[in-house]
Structure 1
Amino acid sequence: MDQNPDTVLLRSGPVIDATGLLLLISTITVFLLPLFIYFPPVPPSQRDALLETHSPIGVKHTKTKKKTTTSSSKTTINQLWIYPVKSCKGIQLTSSKVLPYGLEFDRLYTFAQLKSPFPLSTNPSPDEPQPKESWEFITQRQFPLLATVTVELFAPDPVKARGKPLYSDANIKDSFLLLSFPWQESGLRGVVSWVAAKLARGRSAVPERQVVLPVNFPSQAEIESRGYEREDVRIWRDVVSALNMEKDLPRELALYLGVSNRLGLFRVDPGRLREVHRCAPGKEEAGYQPVTGFQDAYPLHLLNLSSVREFGAKIIKDENLEQDLDARRFRANIIVDGPEENNPPYDEETWKKVSFTSSEAEGKQSKKADFHVSCRTVRCKMPNVNQDSGFRHPVEPDRSLRKLRDVDEGARLKGCLGMQLTPLFDDDDKKKKKLESWVEVGMGVEVGERGAHRYINQ
């Protein structure tokens, strides 16, 4: 008995040819793609968690033009920078509080490696005391990839936190630092992390590890619960007691940086700051004992873009050095600029005292921040490191600094660029024991005193 073809078709179900299958897949893809873009199927990062209750502080850096185009004839503050973790990426600000040890949030942390003294005895006597290992700070001079470790500052945002179930939690009301560095594991997990990074942050994103650090110094209870330890760490020739928080570091960070020794992370102790002497004003002149944290030697570093342009124009460039020398290589806190007729190159080297002032605006009071210009900044080889890629140029600009900027009798055969500053405070602040002032981008530069400088070594 012959079967009806229509009956056979109904029993076997619908037939989908290649064209229909392609159309079905295309329809599903078009429907799901926007969902993947706006709601990527990846777990939230630590940054995502912070953004729920906090907002990032800082502005995006834009490269400075060759010459200032402002209509103002005054020299002004062009940029402000802080470096919460020493030798890592900085954060550009529009304003900042000035404290005795420098700009607020500057150099709160430093990385250090545990080093053994050399040479070690090959046949040590049982009675002979063995030399102890010691912590020494590290910078881009030894580990240039520190330049690629991104640091973000997150401050509490009451608008975001309102209505959150944990709004009363003290952690939501604290500020935090977020460290990020590129890291992709091998094998399938690495492939998955690569795909997740693209889905979450865009085509140019790469997998990374993140570390959250507190801005406030931990309480004694937190120190004990987290297992932190107070240890000595060497900053140049100074040895200071600080809080070692290495337990918060992922092991991948040492591998990424190329640190073979034990890697530590030290938080400066606000009660054990280093006293600043040498070229800084004394206690009688400043009205307080100048101090600093994990800065190299003085509380702040000032740079003049006019000087950077003049010096950079004399360097013989190659493919590994940008044509317009990047001022970020010199890691200054305050960068000033102005028309060269009023701000000639290296004019800052004649300053002894300087004030940054803002005129009264509608509804705002005028502001003023005073500084003692303590000495020139004697450069090491760290400016050789590109602050975007972490590539360390083999010779420049260190070679040109030593050749062209050997200008300080106290630092012969060394290059100098920039000036070291010590904050000064007015008498009212000293009486109130509230030593602080403010600096903002756009503030005018007023030189209060000029004179010669001679660097004093440690």
Structure 2
Amino acid sequence: MIDAPGAFLVLITVFVFFLPLLIYFPPVPPSKRDALLETHTQAGLGRSQAKDDVNGAQKSGGASGRAKIRSLWIYPLKSCRGIEVAQSKVLPTGLEFDRLYTFAQLKSPFPVGLQTPADEKGAHVWRFITQREFPLLATVQVDLFLPDIAKARGQLSARVAEPFLLVRFPWQERGLRGVLDWAAAKLARGWPARPEKEFVLPVVFPSREEIDARGYAYEEVTIWRETVTALNLEVELPRELSLYLGVSNRLGLFRIDPAQLRNVYRCAPTADEAGYQPVTGFQDAYPLHLLNLASVRHFDTKIDKDETLPVLDPRRFRANIIVDGDDTPYDEETWKKIRFIPGPGSKRDASTFHVSCRTVRCKMPNVDQDTGHRHPVEPDKSLRKFRDVDEGAKHMGCLGMQLTPLYPRTASPDDLESWVEVGMSVEVLERGNHVYIRQ
């Protein structure tokens, strides 16, 4: 018969024996990420140092002081966490994979009067949502998986040749199920990991057969003052996402239809000037957004800081192209046409852009892009105080510039393509004044 010390020794021995097995072979079911990694490679550069770039320690400009591309960002799912990339194809809609999807909530007219007709009382509209209303969108992680020929060799499914998005958000069930999820997350991804919910979205626009088979539906969705017909994939959303974000209305998920893009007018070049009609997807108004770190650094000195906002993270401004190296803050506000020039050894050609207008800011930069915490006043208060600089956007703060791609040839759809990559230098081709035109 084993006494108490002996039993304890046996338990310790068993634990020490099985601990390495639990670490290297955790007893948890494979995740959707694991399945995707069998045939795909995750795109992106991993964790960025962009938050620290505002201190000026990592300036990337050369001896000439010419600005260079410091980082590139895509946001496949609007208002969710971005993906930093080293290079990107530039399409008429902006960077490839950018703002393909947006969340929307179903809203009805409110309030309604007693004499309002029944059909108007029941009217509803899908309206896009962002971190402005639901700051926890900043913590929804989006990963892009691109097909890997070497990994997929021998796979029979045609889907292995398509890219996919993996969307993840923190979620822990209550009770014993939640405890098990917590333990599984730690075993699978390390001690800092938290339980998550995840779902997969297609990047390639679905075929008619797929739309019918999956139960997707074409519906109208409103983004700002524009209404566009897009594909609603709300059947793919887990019910927990609405609870996590705090969306009380019905939650939808819309994919922009490449055949029904939004035309861009106002400050953009005309179709005759550009050689094609400028368009965009689910971006706010223009295909691309550029941010100059010299301007961010200067503006950072104007903000009243506290423990929740010790430094102004450039990621709060959700730019596609972040440039650095030019010590003149706000110089980008005089640019009218620019060219990005590749460095020595690059295989890319130069790419040209029309600098269409300033970026008029709302309260969205108040949201911490790591935690989803929304600061009650900053930087919105300082933007309105110190960056009320555009005659067309009185009492609004401006920071950053909106871009429209330009191409040397526009005769066929295949011509409407260029590239940008980190390290390209900025050549200013034309300068002038900007006046924002409201929608």
TM-score range, shorter chain: over 0.9
Q: Indicate if the aligned counterparts of 2:216 and 2:232 stay in contact, CA closer than 8 A.
A: yes
Listed one character per residue, the Cα deviations across residues 59-101 of structure 1 (whole Å, up to 9, x for unaligned) are: 1212333114447223100000000000000000000000001
Q: Indicate if the aligned counterparts of 1:359 and 1:367 stay in contact, CA closer than 8 A.
A: no
Q: Indicate if the aligned counterparts of 1:309 and 1:324 stay in contact, CA closer than 8 A.
A: no
CA distance in 2, matches of 1:433, 1:310: 41
Q: Does 1:189 align with 2:181?
A: no
Moved more, 70-79 or 410-419: 70-79
Name the aligned partner's letter for residue 45 of structure 1. S
What does 1:337-416 correspond to in 2, within 5 Å? 337-340=324-327, 344-361=328-345, 364-416=346-398
Q: Indicate if the aligned counterparts of 1:360 and 1:366 stay in contact, CA closer than 8 A.
A: no
Q: Match for residue 239 of structure 2?
A: 251
Of 125, 131, 150, the match for 2:141:
150
CA distance in 1, matches of 2:52, 2:332: 19
CA distance in 2, matches of 1:39, 1:275: 52
TM-score calculated relative to the size of structure 1: 0.92
Q: Does 1:304 align with 2:292?
A: yes
Q: Indicate if the aligned counterparts of 1:353 and 1:372 stay in contact, CA closer than 8 A.
A: yes
SS at match of 2:72: strand
What does 1:434-449 correspond to in 2, within 5 Å? 434-449=415-430
Change (3 A) 1:445 1:125: closer
Gaps in structure 2 of 5+ consecutive residues: none
Change (3 A) 1:71 1:372: closer
Q: Which runs of 4+ in 1 moved over 6 A?
A: none
Change (3 A) 1:189 1:129: closer
CA distance in 1, matches of 2:52, 2:193: 25
Change (3 A) 1:116 1:337: same
Q: Match for residue 3 of structure 1?
A: none
Name the aligned partner's letter for residue 138 of structure 1. I
Q: Indicate if the aligned counterparts of 1:80 and 1:92 stay in contact, CA closer than 8 A.
A: yes
Name the aligned partner's letter for residue 401 of structure 2. M
Instruction: Give the % identical residues.
Output: 64
| 1:130 CA drift (Å) | 4.0
Q: Indicate if the aligned counterparts of 1:52 and 1:160 stay in contact, CA closer than 8 A.
A: yes
Change (3 A) 1:71 1:97: closer
CA distance in 2, matches of 1:22, 1:339: 67
Name the aligned partner's letter for residue 178 of structure 1. L
Of 151, 170, 177, the match for 1:160:
151
User: How many pairs are equivalent?
Assistant: 433
Q: Match for residue 32 of structure 1?
A: 18
Q: Indicate if the aligned counterparts of 2:60 and 2:68 stay in contact, CA closer than 8 A.
A: no
Q: Does 1:79 align with 2:63?
A: no
Q: Does 1:211 align with 2:199?
A: yes
| 1:158 CA drift (Å) | 1.5
Q: Match for residue 320 of structure 2?
A: 333
Q: Please report the RMSD computed on the Cα atoms of aligned residues, expressed in angstroms.
A: 1.4
Gaps in structure 1 of 5+ consecutive residues: 1-14
Moved more, 251-260 or 153-162: 153-162
Name the aligned partner's letter for residue 174 of structure 2. S
SS at match of 1:50: helix
SS at match of 1:367: coil
Q: Does 1:92 align with 2:84?
A: yes
TM-score calculated relative to the size of structure 2: 0.96
Listed one character per residue, the Cα deviations across residues 436-457 of structure 1 (whole Å, up to 9, x for unaligned) are: 0000000010000000000000
Change (3 A) 1:432 1:394: closer
Q: Match for residue 127 of structure 2?
A: 136
Max Rg structure: 1
Q: Indicate if the aligned counterparts of 1:312 and 1:324 stay in contact, CA closer than 8 A.
A: yes
| 1:162 CA drift (Å) | 2.1
SS at match of 1:336: strand
